[in-house]
Structure formats: C-alpha cells, structure tokens
Structure 1
Amino acid sequence: MGNADFQPPQQYGRVEVPPPKPFFKSLAVSVKETLFPDDPFRQFKDQPFSKKCVLGLQYFVPILEWAPRYTFEFFKADLVAGITIASLAVPQGISYARLASLPPIIGLYSSFVPPLIYALLGSSKDLAVGTIAVPSLLISAMMGKEVHPAENPKLYVQLVLTATFFAGVFQASLGLLRLGFIVDFLSHATIVGFMGGAATVVCLQQLKGILGLVHFTHETDVISVMRSIFTQVHQWRWESGVLGCCFLLYLFTTKYFSKKKPVFFWINAMAPLTSVILGSVLVYVTHAENHGVEVIGHLKKGLNPPSLSELAFGSPYLMLALKTGVITGVIALAEGVAVGRSFASFKNYQIDGNKEMIAFGMMNIAGSCTSCYLTSGPFSRSAVNFNAGCKTAVSNIVMAAAVMITLLFLTPLFHYTPLVVLSAIIIAAMIGLIDYEAAIHLSKIDKFDFAVCISAYIGVVFGSVEIGLVIAVAISLLRVILFIARPRTTLLGNIPNSMAYRSIDQYPAAINVPGILILRIEAPVYFANASYLRERITRWIDEEEDKLKSSTDVELQYVILDLSAVGTIDTSGVSMIEEVKKNMDRRCLQLVLANPGSEVMKKLDKSDLIEKIGKEWIFLTVAEAACACNYMLHSYKQKGKITENNSSDQMV
C-alpha cells in the first residue's frame, strides 16, 4: 500500500473568532439577558410618546390592557366563579387566621382588599387570591416564640401586620429589580418535601381543635405536638372528637366524589361553607358550646379598619418581623407564581413572573395598611376558580364583593361556628399537599432530588418549618455548587457506519478510535472547576495510555476536546487549557479543539492561545477533528512502513 491510498481530508470549515465588541456593550447584553429575558421594552420601539405612556400604564396595570375587550359573556363566567370561590374563601379565611394565631375576622379582611389589588395588577386569569396555610403556620411558629398571641394579642397583631408589610416590600422589590430568578432556587423537590412536611405538622396541630384541647404547644415539631396531645388524654372531649370526625368524613367524601366526577367540582368547593353552616346550626340547636365544643364567638361587623398606624416600626421586635416577612414572603411568592404558571399552561397563555411579584407585593403592602395579613394565590382556591370557568381576574373582584357583603351583614351568623369544623376544613385542605406520589416519582427519576425532598420533610416534621426550609435550600445549593465545581467529562466514541461521536457510557456500541482520545466537557469552565478539569483530563490521558500499552501497539497521539457544551469560560479556564496544552507538549501529544463557542474563541484569541495550539487544530465538529487526526495517524504509519522498506533494500 502506497501513499496514494491515503487521501488527505477535505478542506474543513474554519472556526472564526467573533468580531470584538466593546466591553460595556457586552456587559449590557449580559445584564439585559439576565434581568430582562422577556424583553419587555420591545413594544415601546418606534412608538410616539403618547402611545408609549399608554403602553407603560398597560404594562404596570394589566387590567387597562384587557378591560376594553371585556364582554358580558366573560362577566357571567366570572360571576359564577367568583361566587364559588367566595364560598371557599370565607371558611378558609377564618380557619387560616386561627392557624396564624390571629383573630378570625382578620382572615375575612384578608379576602377583601388583596383580591381587589391583584385584579388590577396581576397577569394571571385564574389565580384566586387569599390566605395560605403554610405561611400562616410559619407566622405563628416564628412570632409565637417571642410574643405570645394570647398574652399580648395587640402587639402580636401589630407584628404580623408589620411582617406582612415587609413581605410585600420584599416581593415588590424582586419584581421591580427583575430578580425573580432568586425564587427558582426553591427547586421542585424542595417544595414537595417542604409543603408535605408543613402539611403534616398543620394536620397534627389541628388535633387540638378535633380533641377540644385548650392548652397546646406552640412548637411545630412532631415530637412536641404528640407529647402535648398524649399528656392531656384526660382532657380530650369526646363530643368535639365525634363532631370533628363526622365533618372530616363529609369533607373527604365530597372531595372523592368531585375527583371521580369532575363536572360536580362545585360540591367539593361548597363543602367547607356547608360544613360551617351545618356546624353552626347543630351547635345552636343543641347548645353544644355548653358541653365542651368551642365556638368562634363574636365577630364585629364592618369593613377593614385602617392599620397603617398599627405597623410596629419602632418595636424592639422589628427584626423578628423583618425576618418573618422575608421568609414567609418567599414561600408565598414561590407558591403563587408556581400556581399561576401551572394554570396558565392549561389555557395556553403566558404570565409575567416579575409582574406577578409586583402584584403580590403591592397587595400585601396595601393589605398590611388595611388590617390584612399575608396573602398569595393558594392552589385549592385557584383550582376551584379554574374549574368554575373563570375568564379573567374579575372573579377576584366578585369574590371580594361577596366577602364585603359578609363583613357588612353576615358576620353575626358565624358566632356559633364550632372551632372543630375549622380544624376539619384545614386538615382536609392540607392532606392534598402531602404529595407522596410526587416523592415516589422523584425517587425513580433522581435519587438526589428524592434526598432533598425527604430532607426537607424530615427537617420540617422533626425540627421546625424554618429548619426544614434551610436544610432543603442548603442541599439544593450544594447540588448546584457540586455541578459547577465537578462538571462531567465524557469519553466519546464513533458510532459504527456513521460520522457521529457519542458517549461510550450511553452507547456501548460506540468504539474508541485508536491513538485518539476524544473528551467532551459538559459545563462552562470557571475558576471553581478549572483545577478539577485539568486533573480529570490528565487522568483520562493516563488511563488511555495505560490501556493502549497493555492492549495494542498503537500509541496515543491526539487528544480532542469537544467544547460544544462550554458556553462561557473565564481566565482560569483559559489558563487551564494552556496548562493542558503544555502538559501534552511534554508528552508529545497534540491538543485538538472541536466546536468552541464564540465566548471561548474570543478568550482564546485574546490570550494568544489559538496561535500556540495552531489554527489548523481547531475544527467545527468532532467528526472533522477525528477524521483529520485519523488521516495523520495513517499518514505517519504509512511513512514509517516506507522508511522501513527503504532501509531493508539498502541492506540487501
């Protein structure tokens, strides 16, 4: 076989260095992509000033954009949906206020003003605004440790309103500064475990109401709760227990029936209100309040009183209110945005996450000034709103109007509402948050995510809500750091009868190319992982050389680095590639780069590393790089044979 049998590779495409851009222009592009990925300003381009003003108002007040297109058909649908969710909002508002250790009337106040604000500023058509269980529990757990709600009720309410104000400021700030991506650090696994643990604790704490106990622990861990229950066995009230079990059975039955027959969703939606009505009538007729069944008692009539002067900015507990506001604000924000996005995907429209944060923030700021505590978009209420056929956020206005009528005229009717019914309503709502199916799904797909989920659950149940949240977020951040600091490097091989090069671990049929080591770096290269990548590439080379020495007579001569997944690189990454190049030069190996991106090429060009590697050793694809290296290997091998034959002829 002569040299004529080895045809040189085709003329490969060159990897071009992108034209230089001014630093501040590049920085502006990066900031814009980070903070304004949705490009909210594109609609303002080439518009007259008056039009820009109108568009600006519509952007910050979305109701101005869709209200001109609102029809009577939409109103009929929103009217039915609003009345339906109002029937759920009234009992839930009272129940969750008690969960937060607040007067029940504040729960009703919180279902009046915030929905009106959200209807003006929110971008979701389906979100129904109201109080939520987990932040209510958090407020009680965090505030109750420092200020006892029974011993100092006025200060406690003031601190809760102050915490709500700080939560609103924090939420609105995230939206205005376009920092909503911070909420994404609460992963799906974290939320599943955290919500499940919080729901478990909430259900256990409601045993106080079910069993008719007067004194109960303010701790949220399961050990303290169970100790408080079983050390007061002699104080259990069988009347309260029987009533609670009956209403729990009723609520679970209606939930099961509505799940089996979705067309009758309204039965489950009306179940909490009918439970309140039936419980109140039963207590009134039997005078059960005289036999150990506690009732709500007097609720004053009238709309929300102003509470701006009640905000405790001068209190020594101000930092406690600030911490509580930020933590509960993040949880409420994460739940509300997630719920809004979920229902938006069902109807094939988009919601603006930053607008939602501004809307949540403004409604909580306004709420804190009108005797409301923290609100968001609870899943249960939003699901009822969605199933009831709502068309726009007007359903929130209808709900607020229904709550207003309740506050003005109907509050005396709740005097005989038994607390055990409220406990049953909370338990029935919280059971749905214990998503064991999602946990099982996580265990099948990703064991690490399952570990995050279980850690959050255990932290909440056996520690506290704050501990569980900290553990879950810490583990999630640890995972992110590990992915950055220890990125994967994959050995590639050739798929037989093709020009494709794929991971040998994923495709066992892929074969190594003798004398060529092909590696793919599967992450951006930063200072945090540059040293590890240098050491890992060196180990790959050592392992490949040892394998070739023991199995074939071919020596390793080329190392191809597939950089297609390396989106960005910093100076530490450039230094790493330079050190790898020097190491290969000492070993008489050739470094070859395949498919480096524009950012990588720009940094390599400015550091003069392209000249050191050689432009001829930078290729558009792994296939081209492997073909060129393979051609050179065969060329060297053929030249070696020719030289050996010439030497033999001379000896003869």
Structure 2
Amino acid sequence: MGNADSDEYPPMESVADGGGHRVAIPPPRPFFESLRCSLKETFFPDDPLRQFKGQPPSRRLVLGLQYVLPILEWGPRYSLGFLRADLVSGVTIASLAIPQGISYAKLANLPPILGLYSSFVPPLVYAMMGSSRDLAVGTVAVASLLTASMLGKEVKASENPTLYLHLAFTATFVAGVFQASLGLLRLGFLVDFLSHATIVGFMAGAATVVCLQQLKGILGLTRFTHETDVISVMRSVFSQTHEWRWESAVLGCCFLFFLLLTRYLSKRRPKFFWISAMAPLMTVILGSLLVYLTHAEKHGVPVIGPLKKGLNPPSSTDLAFGSPYLSTAVKTGIVTGVIALAEGIAVGRSFAMFKNYHIDGNKEMIAFGMMNIAGSCTSCYLTTGPFSRSAVNFNAGCKTAVSNIVMAIAIMFTLMFLTPLFHYTPLVVLSSIIIAAMLGLIDYETAIHLWVVDKFDFVVCMAAYVGVVFGSVEIGLVIAVAISLLRVLLFVARPRTFVLGRIPNCNAYRNIEQYPIAKNVPGILILEINAPIYFANAGYLRERISRWIDEEEDRLKASGEANLQYVILDMGAVGGIDTSGISMLEEIKKTVERRDLKLALANPGGDVMKKLSKSKFVENLGQEWFFLTVEQAVGACNFMLHKCKADTKRDGSDEKWNNV
C-alpha cells in the first residue's frame, strides 16, 4: 500500500486497525527474566551450557571435563596419520623456537635460558586446554619489549638482576590471572576494543623500536639506553661511534641478509617454507662454529656465554608479592597480558578461518591464563601464540595441538643435553634473528589499505605507530585506544540521519544522497535515524531533525512545491532507546505540531515500542501513527492529504486535521 504516485489509497481504518498492519507491542516480561536474557546475550552469546541440557549426570561430568580440557574431546579420535603430521610440525617449530626464545629473552633483559624454559612448560598446558589446532605457543618480541621497558624504568636488570627476574615472574603471574579471569567472567569482548587498525600500528611501531634497539648487538655496543623512543635510541647509537665494532657489524649484516633471503625464497615458493623456518637455527649453528673456530669473542664479538643445563627450576617462591615494586609488576602484567591476548586470539582465529573451524575466545583466554600462571611458577616469562611460529606450524601441516607437545619434548631434550652448545652463539646472530622477525610485523600494505578504505582507521594506525616510535610503547597503546574509543563515542553521540526518497517504479525508499534517482514525496519529509537513541545523542538528534524540517520547508518554499505536511521517522535502525531518547521524541512531536505538521513513526523495534508504550508516548501520539514500513506510512499520509483536499473543496474549510 502507499503508492505515492497513485490516486487510489486504502481507507484510514485499514491502516489504523489494519488487518494485521498495526505495529505490535511485545508482551511484558518480568524484570528479572528480561535482565537474565540481557546478561546471557552479553556474556554467554555462545550458550556454553546448551550441550549439558537433557544429559544424565555422568555425561554432564564428561562434557564438563571436555569443556575445560579440550584434549579429552579430540584425543580419543587421534590417529597415526595425525601423529606423522604433528611430528614434522613440532620438530620444525622447535628449530624456530630455540633461537627465537633465546633472542626474545635477551630482548626482555632476562637470562637467555628463560627463553627455552618458556617454550617447554606453557606449550604443554596449552595443548591440553587450548581450542586452536594451529597455534604454536612461545614468547613474543612485543611482550618482551614491554617487559623490558616497563620493569626497566623501576629496576635495572644490569644493577639488580635477581629483583628484576622476580618482578618478571610476578608480572607473568599477574598476566595469567588477569587473562584467566577475563575468560572465566566471559569478558573477552573487552579485548575487541583493540581494533585491527590499533594492532597494526602498535605492532609496526614496536617492531621499528625493536629493530633499532638491535643496533646494540649489530654494532657490538656494551652500553645502551634503556629508553625505547627512536630519538633516545639513535642518540645512544651515534654518541658511541668510537665503540662500533666492524667485525660484529659485518657478521650481523651477513646473517641478516641470509635470513631475509631465505624468507624471500619461502614466500616465492610456499612449499619450501621449511627453509625460512630452519634459517634461524642454521644461523645460530653457523655463528657459533665461526666464533668457536676463530675465537671472535676475543676480538669484540660478544657471545651468550654458559647456559644452565637442566629442566625448569621452580620459581613459585620467587614471586615478589612483598616487593615495593609490586605495583610496577601488576601494571606490566596487565598491559602485557592484554597485548598477548589480542595477538594470540587474532592469530588463532586467522588460522582457524583457513581450516574452517571455530575457536572459543573465552576458552583461549583461560588457556593463556593457566599456561602463564604455570609458567610463572616454573621460571618462564610471558607467552602467547606468536604469528611467525604459528605460521610455520600451519604451513608444516599440523593437525592438532600435539605439535606443541612435540615442540616441548624437543626443547626438553635441548635443555637436558644441548645447552652447552650455545655457549659461543654470538649476540649479533640473535640481533639478526630479531630484526628479521620484526620486519615481518611492519605491515605497510595493510596501512595503505586502511588509507584507501577508511581514513579514520589510518589515523588510528599512524597514531599508534608514532606514539610507540617517538614516545614509548605504553604511550602509543594509550593514544591508539583513546582515539578508537573517541571514534566509538562519536558514532554514538553523532549518529547519521538521512532524508529518504522513493525509488521510481518500485515502493523502496532510500537515502537520496546515495541514490540520486530517489524522489522526495510531495508534502512528506522522511528521515532515517541510523543508531540507537540514548542520552549521549538525544540532544543532537533533536536539533538535527529540527534543522532537517527547516531545510525542507525552505526548499519547498524556494521551489514553489506543496507545503510540508508530514514528518515520518524511519526507526528501523534504532535498536534501543532510553528515557532521554523518549523525551527527545516527545519534544519533536511538540515541535512538529507547533509547525502545524503531523509526526509518524515507521518500523520501530520491539524494545523501542515497549518503552514508548510504557512512557505513554504511543497513547499521546496515537497508535494509528505507527506503521510497519515507510511505504505504509507514506500511503497513509498521502491518503490523508487527498482526503483533506477533497474535504477542503467540498466545504471550503482550511482545517487540515478535522478529519484525522
């Protein structure tokens, strides 16, 4: 009904009483029932308890254990074919985990052996509790940099290594408790406030800073700044030109070139991914042999030195809860925990999408939290699912999380028997490995894509990058999150409103700016509100709707068309409304009536109608002015226009609303 170009309109009674066309008001529900449904949808959208319904107690116990320990679910179906694939993947990622673990531990200003410890216990915990088949657990550069930056401001690792080590364990424990708590309380959606643009800019900025800091190892410097901003780093580098070691620089550039070359070859020929995966371990072996044979450590090439043989020693008694620097450890744990969660879950979801399976974000948070709690008690520092290691695991053809178990066994073998072999590993090799890994995090292609698609997202990305590079890691993160939240607030506080017009030859009504062929309906202004109406935007919407009415009346007066008679608000996109929004609609109704116009609402949702009914707005406006669609509203308004014109011709009256 409601063809604007037709003279045939249904009688008003069919619109008001409608034969089923009346806008329904949802039946009332008890307050606590409504609250329960809202909380369930917010915190349990996946309804994890649905599988327990109708099951006997014994089956519920089994399902509960499988929910907490997913390995109990897929373990009984494990096959020999899966084992072959997971063995290859596990050994491959172990070859990458050994040099990366040592390198990232040095980046965090921790003993290198902790990098190997952190690749032994946490992967075993994740293999039992994680829901991703492809995630390879280990330390990451960004979390290592954050640990060094935030703890190093209060305690210098070179001056008080024991206290620094204990604070690192404490920060890891705090991060684990925080991560597990988010998962248990179903608060995983909080991590979503770190937008894709924020993560891209933050990771690129952190990678840039990490690469610049590796100039210490490349140039063989013994003293270096503890600051992370680019100005401090470059000042430290160029203020010590007299201490640059050409031997170290040549060795570092050669190894870096080799690593980048293997990465390039692996990208050109994906089936040769193992070349890039094995390259870091090959550089460690070659570098160690070179130093051992040439005694380069006596000529300005620093080496790792002796590594302690044996498995992870317990460290639960080393947690520094009584330290005066506990607040620093807590802050470090929360910040690094959030970053580790964002990176790990994003990586896990990416590879799950390729293999068409689902991972549970809250389960992942619990798994990350438990593996970091266990790690903090076994001489490990913060771990998550790094992209580089997970990509190697994926490309190697892993089938299940058993690849993490295989990697942990390989690391265990290394800790028990092979650690003395790393004595002569030059630090410059570790710096080369870190630089090669970090260059892959500078995703300039995504930044260009953000610029093309969404300029605001590009600003968020660059704000994070500039904040990290020229300020600090924490400053960059805070700036990016603040700008992202500002954008959300702007979307809420300044929602878009559009004028709708009728598309010729059909009954569709669309935005006249998007569809220039859409025509205004004579005497009727149709506005679409494109957001929920809350206290934050009620005032703006009131003013904007009034301005739309003013602009429409001025346009009609200038063009000599028929005067404005009706204002229709399309409420289809209004998902919710509060008391401030209801007050705004009441004020709009009064404003419209003062102008001798009539207000109609089209397609209001159930929650909106329920609140409008309880507030008596439906009664005050009249339920006959609520319509299922814009088309029905236009039809009714056109019918009234024609009826008023006919009555005016018949009795000469100028009363417009005597028949409404």
- The verdict on a shared fold, with TM-score over 0.5 as the criterion, is yes
Q: Determine which of 7, 10, 15 is the counterpart of 1:8.
A: 10
One-letter code aligned to 2:469? V
In structure 2, how many angstroms separate the alpha carbons of the residues matched to 1:539 and 1:418?
A: 71
Partner of 1:356: 364
One-letter code aligned to 1:117? V
In structure 2, how many angstroms separate the alpha carbons of the residues matched to 1:220 and 1:505?
A: 48
Residues 222-276 of structure 1: CA deviation (Å, up to 9, x unaligned): 0000000111111110000000000011000000000000000000000000000
Secondary structure of the structure 2 residue equivalent to 1:365: helix
In structure 1, how many angstroms separate the alpha carbons of the residues matched to 2:466 and 2:649?
A: 69
> Would you say 1:332 and 2:334 are equivalent positions?
no
> Would you say 1:547 and 2:549 are equivalent positions?
no
Task: Give structure 1 regions of 4+ aligned residues with deviation exceeding 6 angstroms.
Answer: none
Residues 566-620 of structure 1: CA deviation (Å, up to 9, x unaligned): 1111111111111111111111111100000000110011111111111111110
1:514/1:554 contact within 8 Å kept: yes
Q: Which moved further from structure 2: 320-329 or 523-532?
A: 523-532
1:337/1:353 contact within 8 Å kept: yes
Partner of 2:240: 232
Deviation at 1:6? Answer: 4.6
Partner of 1:127: 135
Partner of 2:601: 593
TM-score, structure 2 as length reference: 0.96
1:210/1:241 contact within 8 Å kept: yes
Partner of 2:657: none
Q: Determine which of 136, 143, 150 is the counterpart of 1:142.
A: 150
Q: Determine which of 378, 384, 404 is the counterpart of 1:376.
A: 384
One-letter code aligned to 1:308? S
Partner of 2:433: 425
One-letter code aligned to 1:8? P
Q: Determine which of 565, 575, 586 is the counterpart of 1:578.
A: 586
Residues 385-419 of structure 1: CA deviation (Å, up to 9, x unaligned): 00000000000000000000000000000000000
One-letter code aligned to 2:119? S
Deviation at 1:520? Answer: 0.6
Q: Determine which of 276, 283, 286 is the counterpart of 1:268.
A: 276
Partner of 2:446: 438
In structure 1, how many angstroms separate the alpha carbons of the residues matched to 2:9 and 2:387?
A: 67
1:487/1:529 contact within 8 Å kept: yes
1:6/1:634 contact within 8 Å kept: no
> Would you say 1:22 and 2:23 are equivalent positions?
no
In structure 2, how many angstroms separate the alpha carbons of the residues matched to 1:541 and 1:512?
A: 13
Q: Determine which of 196, 202, 211 is the counterpart of 2:210.
A: 202
Deviation at 1:531? Answer: 1.1
2:522/2:561 contact within 8 Å kept: no
Q: Determine which of 554, 557, 572 is the counterpart of 2:565.
A: 557
2:9/2:636 contact within 8 Å kept: no
One-letter code aligned to 2:226? H
In structure 1, how many angstroms separate the alpha carbons of the residues matched to 2:276 and 2:228?
A: 29
Q: Determine which of 626, 640, 645 is the counterpart of 2:634.
A: 626
In structure 2, how many angstroms separate the alpha carbons of the residues matched to 1:274 and 1:641?
A: 96
2:9/2:635 contact within 8 Å kept: no
> Would you say 1:450 and 2:452 are equivalent positions?
no
In the superposition, relative to structure 1, how do residues 553 and 347 fare at CA in structure 2: closer, same or farther (>3 Å)? closer
Partner of 1:167: 175
In structure 1, how many angstroms separate the alpha carbons of the residues matched to 2:645 and 2:216?
A: 85
In structure 2, how many angstroms separate the alpha carbons of the residues matched to 1:644 and 1:636?
A: 11
Deviation at 1:639? Answer: 3.3
Secondary structure of the structure 1 residue equivalent to 2:394: helix
> Would you say 1:512 and 2:520 are equivalent positions?
yes
Partner of 1:96: 104
Partner of 1:105: 113
Aligned residues: 643
In structure 2, how many angstroms separate the alpha carbons of the residues matched to 1:620 and 1:145?
A: 62
Deviation at 1:8? Answer: 2.9
Residues 423-448 of structure 1: CA deviation (Å, up to 9, x unaligned): 00000000010000000000011111
Q: Which runs of 5+ in 2 are unaligned?
A: 1-5, 654-660
TM-score, structure 1 as length reference: 0.97
One-letter code aligned to 1:445? V
One-letter code aligned to 1:443? W
In structure 1, how many angstroms separate the alpha carbons of the residues matched to 2:351 and 2:561?
A: 63
In structure 2, how many angstroms separate the alpha carbons of the residues matched to 1:335 and 1:292?
A: 37
Deviation at 1:641? Answer: 3.7
Deviation at 1:642? Answer: 4.2
1:6/1:635 contact within 8 Å kept: no
In structure 2, how many angstroms separate the alpha carbons of the residues matched to 1:110 and 1:644?
A: 91
In structure 2, how many angstroms separate the alpha carbons of the residues matched to 1:515 and 1:196?
A: 55
> Would you say 1:295 and 2:337 are equivalent positions?
no
* Identity percentage of aligned residues: 74
1:131/1:378 contact within 8 Å kept: yes
Q: Which moved further from structure 2: 577-586 or 294-303?
A: 577-586
Secondary structure of the structure 1 residue equivalent to 2:567: strand
> Would you say 1:607 and 2:615 are equivalent positions?
yes
Partner of 1:649: none
Deviation at 1:305? Answer: 0.2
Partner of 2:419: 411
CA RMSD of aligned residues (A): 1.3
Q: Determine which of 453, 463, 487 is the counterpart of 1:479.
A: 487
Partner of 2:3: none
In structure 2, how many angstroms separate the alpha carbons of the residues matched to 1:567 and 1:621?
A: 16
Deviation at 1:5? Answer: 5.7
Deviation at 1:550? Answer: 1.6
Deviation at 1:631? Answer: 2.0
Secondary structure of the structure 2 residue equivalent to 1:528: helix
Deviation at 1:644? Answer: 5.6
In structure 2, how many angstroms separate the alpha carbons of the residues matched to 1:447 and 1:244?
A: 39
Q: Determine which of 322, 329, 347 is the counterpart of 2:330.
A: 322
1:118/1:360 contact within 8 Å kept: yes
In the superposition, relative to structure 1, how do residues 639 and 146 fare at CA in structure 2: closer, same or farther (>3 Å)? same
1:298/1:412 contact within 8 Å kept: yes
Residues 530-583 of structure 1: CA deviation (Å, up to 9, x unaligned): 111111111111111111112124111100000000111111111111111111
Partner of 1:48: 56
Secondary structure of the structure 2 residue equivalent to 1:561: strand
Deviation at 1:340? Answer: 0.3
Secondary structure of the structure 2 residue equivalent to 1:492: strand
In structure 1, how many angstroms separate the alpha carbons of the residues matched to 2:574 and 2:218?
A: 58
One-letter code aligned to 1:436? Y
Q: Which runs of 5+ in 1 are unaligned?
A: 646-652
Residues 30-62 of structure 1: CA deviation (Å, up to 9, x unaligned): 000000000100000001111111100100111
Q: Which moved further from structure 2: 538-547 or 473-482?
A: 538-547
Partner of 1:528: 536
